[in-house]
Every structure is written in structure tokens, then in C-alpha cells.
Structure 1
Amino acid sequence: MAKRNNDHVSISDALKEFVQTNKLETGLNKVNVADAWAKLMGNGVNHYTTAVQLERNTLYVQLSSSVLREELSYGKEKIITLLNEELGKEIIKKLILR
């Protein structure tokens, strides 16, 4: 039977330790990046977004509108900065719009 630890630990600390112990951070980052994209870009861009994938430090976003893809390509650095600020850490270093 497992030994109980009588020290009081907050739920957030326990969850952080669980995530680190089980190496789940990369999977959570993928989900969090997709949520941050949807939140920051709004309904207009989300309507034309077909896929958002994070691989290593590169975010791949597939868009169904070539005009929108061209418009967003002018502000890639700003989009990367906004997404990293929303996530609270520097996860994305490169943005590729398809």
C-alpha cells in the first residue's frame, strides 16, 4: 500500500508535478497553442483556419483563404509575440502559414 504524505500541497502544485513527472508538457502545449490561436485571432480568422499544429518550436497553420494567408504573413512576428504572451512562455519561434 502506498504511503501517504501528510504535507499539504496545493492542487496547482500537485498538477504541475504530475505533468512534469509524466512528461505531458509537450501535449499540453499543443492544445494550449490551438486554444490561444482561436482566442487571439477571433471568429473571422478561425472561420478560414482548417488546422493548427505545433511541432517542436514551429507552428503550422493551414488556412482555406489565400488572401487571408497573404495578409497574415505580413504580421508573423507580431502573431508569434502575441501567442507567446498568451501562453506565458516562449513556445513558438517560427510560424508557417499554409
Structure 2
Amino acid sequence: MAKRKAENTSISDVLKDFIQTNKLEKGLDKVDVKKAWHEVMGTAISKYTTNILLERDVLYVSLSSSVLREELSYGKDKIIKLLNEELGKKLINKLVLR
């Protein structure tokens, strides 16, 4: 049985410890990236987004509109910056639009 670390521990500290101990950060980052994409890009672009996948530091985004894909390709650096700011850490180094 696990020992108690302290009498008073906040729930956020316990959850952070649990996530680190069980190596769940990568999975949670993938969920957070999808949420951040929809928050940053808005509903208009989210309608044309079919799939979002984070592999290592590369974000793969599948779009159903070739015109939108071309338009977004001109602002990849800005999109990466906005997404990393929304996430609060630098997770994305490259954006691939499919």
C-alpha cells in the first residue's frame, strides 16, 4: 500500500503526480491539441477539418477543402505559434496540412 506524502495535498498536485507516474502526458497532449485547434481556428475552419493527429512534434491536419488547405499553408508559422500559445507549451514544431 502506498504511503501518504503529506496530510494536506491539493487535488491538482495529486493529479499531476498521477499523470507523470503513469506516463499519460502524451495522450493528454493529443486531446489538448485537438481542442486547441478548434478554439484557435474557429468554427468555420473546424467544419472542414476531418482529422487531427499529433505525432512527436508534428501536427497533421486533414482538411476536406483544397482551397482552404492552400490558404492555410501560407500562415503555417502563425498557426503553430497560436496553437503553442493556446496549449501553454511548445508541443508543435511543424504543421502538415493534408
TM tier, smaller = over 0.9
Number of aligned positions between the proteins: 98
Q: RMSD across aligned C-alpha pairs, in angstroms?
A: 1.1
Deviations 1:6-26 (A, max 9, x none): 421111111111100000000
Matched AA of 2:36: A
* Whole-Å separation in 1 of the counterparts to 2:56 and 2:25: 12
Corresponding residue number in structure 2 for 1:16: 16
The residue number in structure 2 matching 1:46 is: 46
Identity %: 66
SS at match of 2:47: helix
Aligned match of 2:68 = 68
What is the match of residue 56 of structure 1? 56
Q: Which amino acid aligns with 2:72?
A: L
- The aligned residue for residue 92 of structure 1 is 92
C-alpha distance in 2, partners of 1:62/1:2?
A: 45
Between the aligned partners of 1:12 and 1:92, the Cα distance in structure 2 is 25
Instruction: Find the aligned partners of 1:90 and 1:2 in 2 and give their Cα distance.
Output: 34
Segments of 5+ residues of structure 1 without an aligned counterpart are none
Instruction: Give the TM-score, by structure 2 length.
Output: 0.95
Structure 2 gaps, min length 5: none
Q: Distance in 1 between matches of 2:28 and 2:3?
A: 29
TM-score (normalizing by structure 1): 0.95
CA distance in 1, matches of 2:96, 2:9: 41
Q: Is 1:36 equivalent to 2:36 in the alignment?
A: yes
